[in-house]
Amino acid sequence: MLTEKKREFIEFMLSADVLRFGHFVTKSGRNTQYFVNTGNYKTGAQLSRLGGYYADLVADTIGGDFDAMFGPAYKGIPLASACAVALYQNHQIDKPYFFNRKEIKDHGEGGSTVGYKPQDGDRIIIIEDVITAGTAVRETMPILKACANVTAPHMYISVDRCEVGATPGKTAIMEVQEEFGIQVHPIVTVVDIHEYLQQNGTDPSLLEAMEGYMEQYCILP
């Protein structure tokens, strides 16, 4: 259901040119009519507002029941940082965060991660942008497990594309939950975006193309 807060977030993504419509190819190689690029957030005001949306979702779902936040390089780094700030400022939840390096540093403090050093038994939440095929999650979990014997019970993303993964009949998010035990929480879903477009008199040809894509690749709730 398209709530006022979800509508507000969709309009925020549109205003920042993060949610775009046209012809794109996803990381999984699918041709899509819409694309979410969180790399287009580029101002302090945008980052502050974005962190607020993530922090609200974390606070609403699990509160402070976790040990640290992880932001996968590169786009997850500012997302986790902004979420950490907003959790403290808006919800008085002060938690550490960390992120990985693309290349392991062999001098100075060294290591493959920056920030908090996970401990055995830690519950880590992952802050990411979008899940399409689950590839990024499969790359992230070995990084976390290499740090310590941790679990990652929750993941927070901007948009759930609701797309089928490698297993017929299952979305990538369903696969992630089954494979790693991660519950994924999106701020909005493709269903919300579609409903928003319907309500705002969007070009019928775009709606038709998007509906065709959803019918082919999506498993809708």
Does 194 qualify as catalytic in the annotation? no
The whole domain housing 30 covers 4-217
Higher pLDDT, 44 or 136: 44
Task: List the single range of 124-133, 138-147, 200-209 with lowest mean pLDDT.
Answer: 200-209
pLDDT band at 110; cut points 50, 70, 90? very low
pLDDT value at residue 31? 85
Contact 34, 191 (CB under 8 A): no
Per-residue pLDDT tens over the stretch 86-105? 999 999 999 999 999 866 55
pLDDT band at 193; cut points 50, 70, 90? very high
What are the residue ranges of helices labelled H in the chain? 4-15, 44-61, 76-91, 135-147, 172-180, 190-199, 204-217
Give the SS3 label for residue 60: helix
What is the total count of domains within the chain? 1
DSSP annotation of 66: S
Per-residue pLDDT tens over the stretch 139-151? 899 999 999 999 9
Question: Which residues in 149-183 are b (16+ Cβ under 10 Å) and which e?
Answer: ebbbbbbbbbbbbbbbbeeeeebbbbbbeeebebb
Query: How far apart are the C-alpha atoms of 121 and 117, rounded to whole Å?
Result: 12
pLDDT value at residue 205? 86
pLDDT band at 18; cut points 50, 70, 90? very high
What's the CATH number where 173 sits?
Answer: 3.40.50.2020
Read off the tokens for 43.
Answer: 């101002």
Among the listed residues 107, 170, 185, 194, the single catalytic one is 107
Does 105 qualify as catalytic in the annotation? yes
Among the listed residues 27, 105, 117, 145, the single catalytic one is 105
- Evaluate if residue 107 carries a pLDDT over 60: no
Q: What is the pTM (predicted TM-score) of this model?
A: 0.91
